[in-house]
Amino acid sequence: MSERSEKYRLWLSTRWSRLNGPQRVGGVDLARGLAVIGMVAAHLLWIDDFDFADTATWVAVVEGRSSILFATLAGVSIGLVTGGRTPLAGAEMRLAREHLAVRAAVLWLIGIGLIATGVPVYVILPAYAILFLIALLLVSLRARTLFLLAGALALVTPLLQALLDALPFWSTPWGQLASVATGWHYPFPVWIAFVTAGLGVARAGITRTRVQLWMVGAGAALALAGYGLDGLSGADAASGAVSFSSAVWTADPHSTGLLEVIGSGGFALAVIGLCLLACRTFLTWVVLPLRAVGAMPLTAYTVQLLVWAIVAATVLGDPGDLRGFRDLEPFWPMTMTLILACTAWALLIGRGPLEWVVDRIARPTVRRR
């Protein structure tokens, strides 16, 4: 074997190890990949109201739940990089916090840049960045404390959110600016509950079979409770939230209602648990392309919005023409290209390009400090 061939073989071997080695949790990557594809579907597909009796409407499961899954996984990721079951301590934890803070700042800037493209979606990255910063206050807590806190936040913050949303401030120019800057469509007062729950399962030991089974069982029970109570209430989703009680007592997607927080939060936990269990079997190789997307979620999310902006501006003359762009039926071409590109990049090159850039910015910044 020539020296060049040996170098190439070693290069591919390290790429394979980065995606499939013990340093990665395949089920978490799979769940992230599903969250990214779900968000693409929510952006690009015409979606009817969910009707269990009509399988054609089942795609509506991505509405609201994909972004909540994404937020819950943020908590999982923060928990894993700050020690997993045993939180880091001392200088190690301080460095981890500083690194995450710099990453949050970069994510916020990327998010504002994506909003500036004019693509008509609520970009999650500004809210994601704020959630990162709030989570830094929680990373030293143990699993039990985090679960109790997540439960308390889930019960209390929907009430607070309904009061905050009713403030006249949001209709002022400063309020509109604050809404964009904070990603208020994904309001951090409520969404920190999802991040806290994700951080809790990381501290509980997310790679343990017992924890994974617990996530599926508890998550399914919460989802059944949230959506079941919403169904029993007989609320008309089409009528919208017209009162304080209807704003709180609802499971409508993106409503931040109490029942959505319980139901969709439980759904996220169950999906993550199922993904972790699936990746204990041969299915981990079947879903490798989705794991590759989940290994570079920032790149995948950002690229699909940039491609959208370019194509819509070129073909339609307006990147903000949502109806026109959806009518082009871009979901399947964009999704398949995204999956193939991420898989090829992961196997041939390695870390996602934006993930690499963010890390290269964060590490030197923390060292200088």
Express each pLDDT in 31-82 by its tens digit: 999 999 999 999 999 887 777 666 767 788 888 899 999 999 999 999 999 9
Question: By the 8 A CB rule, do 85 and 288 touch?
Answer: no
Which residue do the tokens 């693409």 mark? 40
Please give the single-letter amino acid code of residue 163. Answer: L
The confidence band for 236, taking pLDDT boundaries of 50, 70 and 90, is low
Tell me how far CA of residue 107 lies from CA of 75, 133, 369, in angstroms. Answer: 15, 11, 20
Task: Kindly report, residue by residue over 169-190, the tens digit of the pLDDT.
Answer: 999 999 999 999 999 999 999 9
Q: What are phi and psi of 327, to 5 degrees?
A: -65, -20
CA 180 to chain centre: 18
- Alpha carbon distance 93, 87 (integer Å): 8
Q: Is the pTM of this model over 0.85?
A: yes
